[in-house]
Structure 1
């Protein structure tokens, strides 16, 4: 693959080891807020609540209160892993007949579904599913939180009052979908400048352009005052549902009232003398289990992954995706489409952990903003196959089949980690390899995150980081069609992970090295990089 990118540039993230808590997130300011909660004596769940809401303000095209997701928790006192599913659902009034096929072949967003007339399952109010993330956070806090709910939302409210700074990276993200955002007047008013992508402060970055998120701040304030269910049972939810219906969608307040995030026993399985805990059911957890199960059959040796190891990971992922696509029926996604998921991981000084993945699905979700709430809405309906009669066909009230994969694991050497990633179909490849690097070769979190990866996501081609040695590429090429590519800043050729590790009472964390915003921040201010 030809590229104009520098062949000599090296990118690294600092990894700090500390007895204090650590938050690793795709936005440094959100990680900082979570770390401050830990420093104030908060539990890992408290830090997760604060981080999640800040992420929705500062990375609004990735996730937010109108999205969904999933959480894995580890409770150090009981030695227990818990799964929490707060994914999205189709509205009860959704009628599959309203999503007729266009007959023009495959659509061009995340998944290669048959194209629907006017892309009603992808763009606009007809693509909006019932959101779940706020209820999920509320239920996690109710069970494990130590600090007041209202206090945990104050940082997000403060950031929304100030407005998200549009730097070069934010402007790039907004510009990538400016035409789609322009189709919704409220989205255009929030993100665009006279119908164009926003201007940034020249090369010196001294001038500031900020989004007007004051309406969002007011809505977050209501959630802070009245609790998570304010978005579901109260006036706030009624206003949001009214906005969606006014724009042609079918989300109702009844959909919101009956929504409940659910705790589950995790999908737990052994790997290389350790344990892995993932989400069961309609997530990527079963796919992860399948991939690692196949990889575990290979005898690996040496201090680091060689050609045999990468071939084993590729074999496992290939087999897992064949099963996922045939039995679960979810995706086989478009290889170059960006997702709008975000992931963060938390470990507190006591060893409690949270791995939280949250999403709007596509970048900027449905590209529709609810004017009453200021929330950018999801396009969760795109998770369903619009062709009827299949395992994941579109239907009223159905739970969306997610590819999120927040994971808690323990290596055979006793190190515990919480990892996950954004990146749509690329997520499972990243999580499986990171788990493998740490369990198969004893890597710490920094070494695992800096190590080159491959991507195997259901297609015929294995995507390989072109910094891998020729011997690794040769080993992969014996069983696969291999395509080389760079680990780049935008768009991401591989998934964008974030993770934390606890080993011998010492905590550490790391984020995707190419992420310009991502950071792992520790609660010990004097140690924070």
Structure 2
């Protein structure tokens, strides 16, 4: 616990029901862009496309055109869930021998892999994987979009022309990675002042400063005009591959041209008379499904979120992560910071989208492509550099990620779409929010304010100290407990965003400690 923090401060976010559609996002400005699409009569998928591109501008260190991810859709007319998988892939020309182990312990970033010489799998152009977000948005839009593609991308173009308005929070986030950003001249020019310090506004708030994102705006304009394949074929792809290879990476035009997002059937968990739909395959979905199925047997509903409920959640999460860590090869550090973004959308007809997308690390590879203005991912870090493991580094291979967007329908008819950022912490947050809604009948506002725990490996429970002595003591009977607070920075827990629909009215909420996150009606 931190004795320097006030015990008198209370932080809340209000949830308001509306007949209009709602976008809940980690950045209010992106949510406003998506809500405007809904207000103009757009589908939830239209709003998702617009929100996704806007987030790449206003929250560039979390996602963008070079990100990967996944979305789960709920189509009200069909009463059916579907999944679009647009995870990253390793380049075809990648040679695992180019990532020799250094013998100097473990990596200092998200995953405690054995360290690679020069951190080539973590930072720099050698860490860049083939991105999927633009292809994923294009695939969903081709099936369900009702507004022109250009119309949906142009708001992000305008935001990039203006440049991200820097404030105390952007300065804090940039400062946490300033040393790494300074090692790439193009990243330093975009995010740092004099190549060293984070770009900040006036401490009095009397003078505004903006990032120079004009090159990004030009690239987004080409994607708006040329469609989603404009990133993967043509001038952008050539420039992107040229920049990456000039900085030592192996991603080629052919890798971009070969990339395709995919439709998939969801993992469906029957739960308490309702259903929860999650992403299948190399995502957090299988682990989430295992934990939720076990929780239905462990937890007696109707008692409220009491000590027994938290014990049941801790046990089921611990068992699910034991399976994940031994069979699926994901060994991300449980102390990893949130470095992803999630948003959820519901339109006035009840169509829903839960979207999670990421550059992987915060600021990705900490490298910017000068010809495109795109901040590059470091998706190669998802692979274990040690040969012979379940998730070992190899060419043309899909990554194993933690993102876990879900949509659910309760026995009471309430429908929800939720997800989170936060690496391995995502799974537990999504499971607990689902349980709060389905087991305890909480409102969306109650669920998002309810204290959570994190059990994601490491042999301990990280517990919000707001749970109180009785529940903390009960958790200690399951495994060692590390109490902590929900804070703006760093996040001990995941950062969720979600929407809900009940009896024709919609609502949304985001992590209460997120200073930029908000739900906006449209």
- Into which bin does the TM-score normalised by the smaller protein fall? over 0.9
Aligned residue for 2:304? Answer: 304
The equivalences for 1:91-170 within 5 A come to: 91-170=91-170
Gaps of 5+ in 1: 524-529
Alignment partners' CA distance in 2, 1:281 and 1:32: 32
The equivalences for 1:246-395 within 5 A come to: 246-302=246-302, 304-331=304-331, 333-395=332-394
| 1:303 Cα deviation from its structure 2 partner | 5.4
Alignment partners' CA distance in 1, 2:375 and 2:206: 28
Aligned residue for 1:484? Answer: 483
| 1:137 Cα deviation from its structure 2 partner | 0.3
1:441 is the counterpart of 2:440: yes
Summarize deviations over 1:197-240 as a string: whole Å, max 9, x none.
23433332121111100000000000000000000011111110
Aligned residue for 1:5? Answer: 5
Gaps of 5+ in 2: none
Summarize deviations over 1:401-449 as a string: whole Å, max 9, x none.
0100000011221111000000001000100000000000111111100
Summarize deviations over 1:304-330 as a string: whole Å, max 9, x none.
200111111111110000000111011
Give TM-score, length-normalised by structure 2. Answer: 0.99
Give TM-score, length-normalised by structure 1. Answer: 0.98
- Whether the 8 Å CA contact 2:462–2:481 is kept in 1: the answer is yes
Summarize deviations over 1:463-517 as a string: whole Å, max 9, x none.
0000002221121111110110000000111000000001111111000000000
The equivalences for 1:210-225 within 5 A come to: 210-225=210-225
- Whether the 8 Å CA contact 2:113–2:384 is kept in 1: the answer is yes
Alignment partners' CA distance in 1, 2:234 and 2:107: 37
| 1:271 Cα deviation from its structure 2 partner | 1.3
1:458 is the counterpart of 2:457: yes
Aligned residue for 2:87? Answer: 87
| 1:383 Cα deviation from its structure 2 partner | 0.3
Alignment partners' CA distance in 2, 1:3 and 1:316: 32
Alignment partners' CA distance in 1, 2:338 and 2:101: 23
Partner-residue secondary structure (3-state), 2:142: helix
- Whether the 8 Å CA contact 2:383–2:399 is kept in 1: the answer is yes
> Taking structure 1 as reference, are residues 166 and 479 closer, same or farther at Cα in structure 2, changes over 3 Å only?
same
Aligned residue for 2:197? Answer: 197
Partner-residue secondary structure (3-state), 2:193: coil
Partner-residue secondary structure (3-state), 1:170: helix
Alignment partners' CA distance in 2, 1:214 and 1:283: 34
Alignment partners' CA distance in 2, 1:199 and 1:145: 37
Partner-residue secondary structure (3-state), 1:409: strand
Alignment partners' CA distance in 1, 2:122 and 2:359: 11
- Whether the 8 Å CA contact 2:178–2:198 is kept in 1: the answer is no
| 1:273 Cα deviation from its structure 2 partner | 1.6
Alignment partners' CA distance in 1, 2:3 and 2:221: 47
Alignment partners' CA distance in 2, 1:277 and 1:242: 40
- How much is the aligned-residue C-alpha RMSD, in angstroms? 0.9
Partner-residue secondary structure (3-state), 2:446: helix
Alignment partners' CA distance in 2, 1:334 and 1:290: 21
- Whether the 8 Å CA contact 1:476–1:482 is kept in 2: the answer is yes
Summarize deviations over 1:277-332 as a string: whole Å, max 9, x none.
0110000000001111111112424452001111111111100000001110112x
Aligned residue for 2:14? Answer: 14
Alignment partners' CA distance in 2, 1:303 and 1:166: 46
Summarize deviations over 1:446-467 as a string: whole Å, max 9, x none.
1100100000111101000000
Alignment partners' CA distance in 2, 1:115 and 1:177: 19
Aligned residue for 2:507? Answer: 508
- Whether the 8 Å CA contact 2:185–2:195 is kept in 1: the answer is no
Farther-moved stretch of structure 1 (60-69 vs 197-206): 197-206
- Whether the 8 Å CA contact 2:336–2:422 is kept in 1: the answer is no
Partner-residue secondary structure (3-state), 1:424: coil
Alignment partners' CA distance in 2, 1:426 and 1:232: 32
- Whether the 8 Å CA contact 1:339–1:361 is kept in 2: the answer is no
- Whether the 8 Å CA contact 1:294–1:315 is kept in 2: the answer is no
> Taking structure 1 as reference, are residues 147 and 434 closer, same or farther at Cα in structure 2, changes over 3 Å only?
same
Q: How many residues align?
A: 522
Partner-residue secondary structure (3-state), 1:81: strand
Summarize deviations over 1:9-35 as a string: whole Å, max 9, x none.
000011110011000000001001111
| 1:5 Cα deviation from its structure 2 partner | 1.1
Farther-moved stretch of structure 1 (367-376 vs 334-343): 334-343
